[in-house]
Structure 1
């Protein structure tokens, strides 16, 4: 095959641009710190990064839900603590009111405090988190209790947060129907407070004494609900730790897949630079004046 001068120059230019492209790619890796800057650089690595980033985005969503669930449970536990304190105070007043030596005036004073305790219980029942009533079931935009009526305006549904893959969900709310012992739409807890007030105002020491057992029952119910909330809060702590570890692992995998080895990049870049300089030197020898130039 006859080798022409144009063929030599064409071959040189092809090799020259290939060397220049490798040099530019190495410089891009050095400046960006990444193994690739576009999908064509490494399609397989790009696909892997996209999968990892998708998992990270999903993990971030689970983390946000877990944080929201934790806050909800903390607000719920605080409300349950207040309700427990109110019932404990109610019991103390009932024990005091059962004392037959109290005057009618004393009994009425206790009755007035009982009504204040009931009003505060209603406030606890209407506790809100982020603009939502936490004891109203799905009806989070409606106050479940009122001071003038002992009825329950919420429902018995549970609000679930997805906190992990595979449909890992957790119910974070406590329906007010359970907490306030709602039967037939009426809160027996609030009704008990009204009955206790009436017994005190009537000076019925025996009736007041008999209601202490009812107070203990309501107090036991609140403590049981609070124990469940505490268990869920502990579980959320474990979930948050796992999600944090998953996020760390995803970040490490993404870095391993995308980040370039700087020592290797610098070594290869130096080699590519030497090859590029050699190609320039070779080109200077190839592109010499031809025979025609000497015949002119």
Structure 2
């Protein structure tokens, strides 16, 4: 059955088409001004879902990078402190070698004892080294000083027995240990014969005007253990550096994928906008012909 087309129908269709054309131009102008394909999830749910996944991945990657940075800070501080401990032990060894010279007077030996005392105090300060208010040689008891200057009858001793690792997640289910086992340095081989007890024995001999060269082998064992721990730390530092590089590359890749997913192709958008403007102009022209002439048009 034939349908009678009225003037109102023509007018309504023309307005609807003009509105659609203007809506398309508005969408293209939004893309051109924002540089994004979509303004809200309903514009393209697939693009929106992928964008949420990429942003979540970037947030996780940023947290992993912060964990890596914290681990690097701990390791750098630990390595620098261990280097200083090694320098102190080397100086003490020089004094022990010198004390074995029979020509050294008892007064000189007592002076050496005083220097060893100061070096021991400095080692205690190094054992209590902190970063961001946390003790780096106290295992997981980061709020408790591992060296107590009042322990061992006021002579000072390493009192911490915590050897637990501090693990940081630097990738999904990948953990690195940011600290070292300080027991292998300051409490080696045990608390009764650790580094500070050896120094106490050295000072006892020197303060009594006797040579202390017999403790060189014990001091060498302490120094060798320090070197072993520092080598182990160096291997961990290399691994963390590699992880940091991978996280940086991963951030670049994720950002690129997010850009491809969400960013509008400016050349394509501008071409589509010019095309839509031409369509809109044509629609306006055809609409002007469709509108029924008024009585004034006939009077002309």
TM range (shorter): over 0.9
In structure 2, what is the equivalent of residue 67 of structure 1? 69
C-alpha displacement of 1:204? 3.5
C-alpha displacement of 1:290? 7.3
Structure 2: segments with no counterpart, 5+ residues? 152-156
Q: 1:151·1:187 contact (CA, 8 Å) conserved in 2? A: no
The root-mean-square deviation of aligned C-alpha atoms, in Å, is 1.7
Given the two structures, how large is their TM-score scaled by the length of structure 1? 0.93
C-alpha displacement of 1:100? 2.5
Cα 1:156–1:65 shift into 2, 3 Å: same
In structure 2, what is the equivalent of residue 248 of structure 1? 252
C-alpha displacement of 1:186? 5.0
1:183-215 CA distance string (max 9 Å, x none) = 66556100100000001122333xx22210000
C-alpha displacement of 1:58? 0.3
Comparing 8-17 with 35-44, greater Cα deviation is found at: 8-17
Q: 1:35·1:259 contact (CA, 8 Å) conserved in 2? A: yes
Are positions 1:181 and 2:187 aligned together? yes
Q: Does the residue aligned with 1:197 lie in a helix, a strand or coil?
A: helix
Q: 1:196·1:211 contact (CA, 8 Å) conserved in 2? A: yes
Q: Does the residue aligned with 1:121 lie in a helix, a strand or coil?
A: helix
Equivalenced residues, count: 290
Are positions 1:217 and 2:224 aligned together? no
Q: 2:158·2:186 contact (CA, 8 Å) conserved in 1? A: no
Given the two structures, how large is their TM-score scaled by the length of structure 2? 0.92
Stretches of 4+ aligned residues off by more than 6 angstroms: none
Are positions 1:82 and 2:84 aligned together? yes
Comparing 35-44 with 76-85, greater Cα deviation is found at: 35-44
Distance 1:286 1:102 in 2: 120
In structure 2, what is the equivalent of residue 170 of structure 1? 176
In structure 2, what is the equivalent of residue 156 of structure 1? 163
Distance 1:184 1:219 in 2: 15
